[in-house]
């Protein structure tokens, strides 16, 4: 098992499909217009029902670095935290990614979430470099868990080795 | 150079370009003498002879300008002389570059053959696509499909449960057809000899090709399996120019093959899937010892050559011609084997000219089918291919590529050709003679001739209410009769507005929807049905034959339809599809 203990809290790496996980909430990397679109967005719509997009339409938008919350329809999770991370090599990728992860964690705390899952934010279509992403995410989440709060466990769901390996290296480095 | 500052996007593109430069690429970048010898090779030039922007050299010059301005001393010192940009590109220019790279070249590589300097324009065009997608500039369809492939693991966003469901469905049909308990589709079988990878189009829109392949494997007594993940042999990285995506897709197949411990991967008939998995993917994924791989055409041909299956060519008597997929033929050197197989399973083969490495693109290559904004230009550029097909007088165009099937079907409809498209797997399955073949389990009686037809239940749609939407009266009447004969209660509408009103009022269990109707067309109707509270959950089976359908699949304004059938519609297929959609919906609801 790949994990890092932070006091009585836990940061763990898993190989799971994030939209099917039994967690209180998971994070979805959304665009500014809060459209679920394809990829994980399509899985959320097809598995969770279209009520999720309806709720997002009412919210209306989400600037880069921010996060908004909806219910998760008939998915196993209770909440989806839609966080707008940096995309397509935009300026200050690192600062924006850190802020996005912090926003998602803050929304989770507001909802009293105990178990939260993140995907590797933006490392596929959105071209965020894996080394930067794994470093920033692991550090930001670890720092947050060290500060206390309702969150007990944060999971990073990386089904492919391409993502799994660099996250594993980062998590074990500081374990 | 200019005083105007470079934008962040342009800087990112330049940084990325530096990573793509190798000897072959630099050779193509500096080698062009603008002689124009390649112009007539390109189907876009032939369709738009007065537009210099369609020439291969113009398209490739877009990358050259970036290269020369930044990586070649001549461009820094004499920009006017070598055609380097004096003024850096602005972000607005990127939209124009997008239209050139994605909308005027299918990366077919035909022009490469005519170039005395060995310039590979398609490689440069792919690099330009990659630079643009790196900074988020790409057609909507490319963005949608790439995201699906990155995150769901296949380019049509087929969820794992839907994939498994379709394979089980085909497996049950095969078992019923053959009346043989062991005639099934193995899933996740460790240590099997073959892992069979397919195009998601087969799962979503043409599952019978999976059953036909399974029938052939069964007849050959093959030890094979399908994987539950890593089954998509297609690769949008080839089209979008994103080597990261290319490597990720290929690696999923390679890793799955190792996990299952198979001897080899067999790639179903998909041109770009074959090229990406067999050749390019190995480099993108940095594989040092890839699992052996072959095209299913080779597998089927070897079965016939080795006497593992017996075929009767008289079962495919129509006049046929063969279309070479650019990726299989020009880029893969795969010319003779498909022809050998075709001659073994069909009676009347007529070559199309030009052919093999010199064949023209079906115009659906390079991911063009996913870019609906360029459809009119694509169809115009298809005239040369249409003329060649017509000249053969063939009733069937055979091809070994799912993408070409769609590209050819579109041009056949657009140019009103009197023929249909088939793949070798269709022909081999149809020609199969099972009576003299050694069966894996001897005691079981197998019908002498196998026809791949679903077993008819008396009234499989009894108790179901179906709304049929089609503007053509004869088609409507046909669909109504087929559904009524299968026991359904049928209501019908002749246009989009009427369909929406009836769907709201009657809440049918299923809607059969034509996409090409006057007034509010089928695509608008579909989007409205899907975005309206009362009708959003009603499953829709699209029954169409038009390119508009691509927009629904690729741009994905709303979740995709549950089923798709091309026209003319086969009666049995229609009922089987409708029953399957309804059963699957029930299972999901439970
Ligand atoms: S690769 Fe094909 S489509 Fe592109 S310029 Fe060359 S001939 Fe034309
Ligand atoms: S690519 Fe080759 S054939 Fe075409 S214009 Fe340039 S040098 Fe001539």
Residues B217 and B297 occupy one common structural domain: yes
Residues of B in contact with A127 (CB under 8 A): 134, 136, 244
- Decide if B65 touches A, using CB distance below 8 A: no
Residues B285 and B154 occupy one common structural domain: yes
- Decide if A160 touches B, using CB distance below 8 A: yes
Contact A167, A158 (CB under 8 A): yes
Residue pLDDT, tens place only, B292-338: 999 999 999 999 999 999 999 999 999 999 999 999 999 999 999 99
Residues of B in contact with A47 (CB under 8 A): 159
* Residue with token string 């980062």: A170
ipTM of the complex: 0.98
Q: Which of A39, A45, A50 sits opposite B150 (nearest CB)?
A: A39
Q: Which is higher by pLDDT, B570 or B124?
A: B124
- Decide if B138 touches A, using CB distance below 8 A: no
Measured from CB, residues less than 6 Å from any atom of ligand 1 are: B 41-42, 44, 56, 59, 105-111, 121-122, 125
- Could you list the residue range(s) of the whole structural domain that residue B567 is in? 455-589
Residue A70's CATH number = 3.40.220.10
Report the chain B residue with the minimal C-alpha distance to residue A123.
Answer: B150
Please name which of A120, A43, A103, A39 lies closest in space to residue A76, comparing C-alpha atoms.
Answer: A43
* Residue B443 counted as domain residue: no
Q: Which residues contact B166 (CB under 8 A, 6 or more apart)?
A: B158, B203, B207, B210
Structure tokens at B361: 């693109």
Report the chain B residue with the minimal C-alpha distance to residue A159.
Answer: B151
Residue B62's CATH number = 1.10.1060
Residues B119 and B210 occupy one common structural domain: no
Residues B274 and B205 occupy one common structural domain: yes
Does B145 contact A160 at a Cβ distance shorter than 8 Å?
no
Q: How many domains does chain B have?
A: 4
Residues B225 and B349 occupy one common structural domain: no
- In DSSP terms, A153 is beta-bridged to A10, A115
Residues of B in contact with A89 (CB under 8 A): 8-9, 12, 134-135
* Residue B444 counted as domain residue: no
Q: What is the CA radius of gyration of chain B?
A: 25
- Decide if B135 touches A, using CB distance below 8 A: yes
Residues B227 and B116 occupy one common structural domain: no
pLDDT value of residue B553? 64
d(CA A79, CA A115): 11
pLDDT value of residue B428? 98
Query: Which of A125, A129, A164 to probe the B interface (max B CBs under 10 A)?
Result: A125
Q: What is the mean pLDDT of the segment spanning B551-569?
A: 73
With b for 16 or more beta-carbon neighbours within 10 A and e for fewer, the A13-22 pattern comes to bbebbbbbbe
Q: How many domains does chain A have?
A: 1
pTM to 2 decimals? 0.89
Please name which of B493, B509, B517 lies closest in space to residue B541, comparing C-alpha atoms.
Answer: B509
For residue B554, is pLDDT > 80?
no
Contact B496, B517 (CB under 8 A): yes
pLDDT value of residue B349? 96
Residue pLDDT, tens place only, B129-167: 999 999 999 999 999 999 999 999 999 999 999 999 999
Q: Which is higher by pLDDT, B435 or B286?
A: B286
For residue B450, is pLDDT > 50?
no
pLDDT value of residue B542? 85
Report the chain A residue with the minimal C-alpha distance to residue B12.
Answer: A89
Question: Of B259, B281, B303, which closes a domain?
Answer: B303
Residue pLDDT, tens place only, B65-92: 988 887 776 666 666 656 666 667 899 9
Does B159 contact A161 at a Cβ distance shorter than 8 Å?
no
Q: What is the mean pLDDT of the segment spanning B18-32?
A: 93
Q: Which ligand is nearest to the CA of B326?
A: 1
Whole-angstrom distance between the N-terminal and C-terminal Cα of chain A? 12
| Weakly modelled stretches of chain A, pLDDT under 70 | 174-175
Task: Tally the C-alpha atoms within 13 A of residue B426's C-alpha that lie toward its C-beta.
Answer: 17
pLDDT value of residue B520? 81
pLDDT value of residue B551? 66
pLDDT value of residue B556? 65
Residues B336 and B283 occupy one common structural domain: no
Q: How far away, in angstroms, is B320 Cα from ligand 1 center?
A: 27
d(CA B517, CA B215): 38
Alpha-carbon gap: B245 to the closest alpha carbon of chain A (Å): 7
Residues B507 and B580 occupy one common structural domain: yes
Task: Tally the C-alpha atoms within 13 A of residue B473's C-alpha that lie toward its C-beta.
Answer: 0
Q: Which residues contact B50 (CB under 8 A, 6 or more apart)?
A: none
Residue B510's CATH number = 3.40.50.2300
* Residue B397 counted as domain residue: yes
Does B536 contact A41 at a Cβ distance shorter than 8 Å?
no
Structure tokens at B324: 């070479």
Residue B287's CATH number = 3.40.50
Residue pLDDT, tens place only, B347-401: 999 999 999 999 999 999 999 999 999 999 999 999 999 999 999 999 999 999 9
Minimum CA distance residue for ligand 1 atom 2: B108
Residues of A in contact with B8 (CB under 8 A): 89-91
If contacts are CB pairs under 8 Å, which of residues 501-530 in chain B contact chain A?
530
Residue A115 parent element (H or E)? strand A115-118
pLDDT value of residue B45? 97
Structure tokens at B187: 């899933």
Alpha-carbon gap: B135 to the closest alpha carbon of chain A (Å): 5
Atom of ligand 1 nearest to the CA of B43: 8
pLDDT value of residue B442? 43
Structure tokens at B472: 């053509």
Q: Which of B151, B157, B255 sits opposite A124 (nearest CB)?
A: B151
Minimum CA distance residue for ligand 1 atom 8: B42
Atom of ligand 1 nearest to the CA of B122: 1
Query: Which of A38, A128, A130 to probe the B interface (max B CBs under 10 A)?
Result: A38
d(CA B475, CA B210): 28
Residues B484 and B581 occupy one common structural domain: yes
Residue pLDDT, tens place only, B27-69: 999 999 999 999 999 999 999 999 999 999 999 999 999 888 8
* Residue B143 counted as domain residue: no
Residues of A in contact with B164 (CB under 8 A): none
Minimum CA distance residue for ligand 1 atom 5: B56
Q: Which of A37, A90, A162 sits opposite B147 (nearest CB)?
A: A37
Cis peptide before B568 (omega within 30 of 0): yes
Residues B126 and B10 occupy one common structural domain: yes
Residue pLDDT, tens place only, B458-516: 789 999 999 999 988 888 999 999 999 999 999 999 999 999 999 999 999 999 998 87
pLDDT value of residue B474? 87
Does A88 contact B159 at a Cβ distance shorter than 8 Å?
no
Residue pLDDT, tens place only, B418-448: 999 999 999 999 999 996 444 444 444 444 4
Report the chain B residue with the minimal C-alpha distance to residue A91.
Answer: B8
- What is the pLDDT of chain B when averaged over all its residues? 90
Please name which of B584, B510, B513 lies closest in space to residue B543, comparing C-alpha atoms.
Answer: B513
- Could you list the residue range(s) of the whole structural domain that residue A20 is in? 2-173
Percent of the residues in chain B that have a pLDDT greater than 70, as a whole number: 90
Residues of A in contact with B135 (CB under 8 A): 88-89
- Decide if A33 touches B, using CB distance below 8 A: no
Structure tokens at A78: 């209770």
Report the chain A residue with the minimal C-alpha distance to residue B588.
Answer: A47
């Amino acid at each position: 098992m790949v994990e890092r203990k932070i006091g009585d809290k836990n940061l763990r790496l898993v190989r799971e499909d994030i939209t099917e996980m039994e967690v209180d909430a998971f994070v979805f990397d959304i665009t500014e217009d809060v459209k679920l679109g394809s990829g994980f967005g399509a899985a959320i719509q097809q598995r969770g029902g279209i009520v999720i997009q309806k709720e997002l339409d009412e919210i209306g938008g989400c600037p880069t670095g921010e996060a908004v919350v909806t219910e998760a329809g008939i998915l196993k999770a209770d909440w989806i935290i839609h966080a707008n991370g940096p995309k397509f090599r935009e300026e200050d990728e690192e600062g924006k990614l850190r802020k996005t992860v912090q926003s998602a964690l803050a929304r989770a705390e507001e909802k009293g979430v105990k178990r939260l899952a993140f995907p590797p934010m933006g490392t596929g279509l959105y071209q965020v470099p894996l080394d930067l992403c794994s470093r920033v995410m692991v550090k930001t989440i670890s720092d947050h868990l060290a500060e206390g709060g309702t969150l007990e466990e944060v999971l990073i769901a990386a089904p492919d080795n391409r993502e799994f390996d660099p996250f594993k290296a980062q998590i074990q480095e500081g374990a | 150079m200019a005083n105007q500052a470079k934008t962040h996007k342009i800087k990112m593109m330049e940084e990325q370009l530096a990573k793509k430069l190798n000897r072959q690429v630099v050779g193509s970048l500096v080698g062009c003498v603008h002689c124009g010898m390649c112009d007539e090779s390109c189907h876009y030039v032939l369709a738009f002879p007065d537009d210099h922007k369609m020439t291969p050299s113009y398209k490739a010059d877009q990358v050259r300008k970036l290269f020369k301005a930044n990586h070649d001393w001549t461009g820094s010192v004499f920009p006017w002389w070598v055609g380097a940009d004096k003024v850096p590109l602005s972000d607005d220019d990127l939209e124009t570059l997008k239209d050139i790279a994605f909308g005027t070249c299918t990366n077919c590589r035909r022009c490469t053959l005519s170039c005395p300097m060995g310039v590979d324009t398609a490689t440069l065009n792919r690099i330009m696509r990659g630079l643009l997608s790196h900074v988020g500039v790409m057609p909507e369809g490319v963005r949608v499909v790439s995201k699906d492939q990155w995150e769901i693991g296949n380019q049509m966003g087929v969820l794992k449960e839907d994939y498994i469901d379709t394979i089980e469905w085909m497996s049950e049909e095969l078992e019923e057809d053959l009346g043989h308990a062991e005639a099934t589709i193995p899933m996740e079988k460790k240590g099997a000899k073959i892992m069979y990878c397919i195009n998601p189009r087969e799962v979503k829109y043409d599952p019978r090709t999976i059953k036909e392949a399974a029938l052939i494997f069964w007849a050959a007594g093959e030890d094979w399996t399908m994987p539950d993940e890593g089954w998509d042999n297609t690769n949008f990285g080839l089209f979008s120019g994103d080597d990261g995506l290319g490597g990720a897709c290929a690696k999923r197949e390679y890793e799955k093959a190792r996990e299952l411990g198979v001897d080899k991967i067999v790639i179903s008939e998909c041109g770009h899937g074959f090229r990406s998995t067999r050749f390019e993917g190995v480099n993108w994924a940095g594989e040092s010892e890839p699992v052996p791989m072959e095209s299913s055409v080779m597998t089927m041909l070897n079965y016939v050559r080795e006497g593992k299956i017996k075929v009767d060519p008289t079962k495919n008597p129509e006049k046929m011609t063969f279309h070479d997929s650019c990726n299989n033929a020009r880029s893969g050197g795969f010319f003779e084997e498909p022809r050998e197989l075709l001659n073994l399973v069909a009676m009347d083969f007529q070559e199309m000219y030009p052919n093999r490495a010199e064949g023209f693109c079906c115009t659906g290559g390079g991911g063009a089918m996913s870019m609906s904004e360029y459809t009119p230009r694509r169809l115009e550029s298809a005239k040369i291919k249409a003329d060649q097909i017509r000249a053969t007088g063939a009733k069937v165009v055979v091809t070994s590529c799912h993408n070409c099937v769609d590209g050819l079907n579109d041009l056949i409809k657009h140019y009103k050709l009197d023929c249909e498209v088939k793949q070798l797997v269709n022909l081999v399955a149809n020609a199969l003679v099972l009576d003299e073949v050694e069966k894996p389990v001897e005691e079981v009686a197998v019908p002498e001739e196998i026809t791949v037809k679903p077993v008819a239940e008396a009234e499989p749609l009894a108790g179901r209410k179906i709304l049929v939407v089609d503007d053509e009266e004869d088609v409507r009447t046909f669909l109504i009769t087929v559904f009524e004969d299968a026991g359904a209660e049928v209501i019908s509408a002749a246009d989009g507005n009427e369909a929406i009103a009836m769907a709201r009022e009657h809440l049918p269990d299923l809607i059969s929807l034509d996409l090409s109707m006057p007034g509010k067309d089928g695509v608008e109707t579909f989007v409205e049905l899907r975005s309206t509270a009362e009708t959003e959950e009603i499953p829709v089976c699209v029954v169409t034959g038009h390119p508009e359908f691509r927009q629904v699949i690729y741009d994905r304004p709303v979740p995709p339809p549950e089923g798709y059938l091309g026209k003319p519609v086969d009666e049995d297929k229609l009922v089987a599809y409708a029953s399957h959609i309804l059963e699957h919906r029930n299972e999901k609801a439970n």
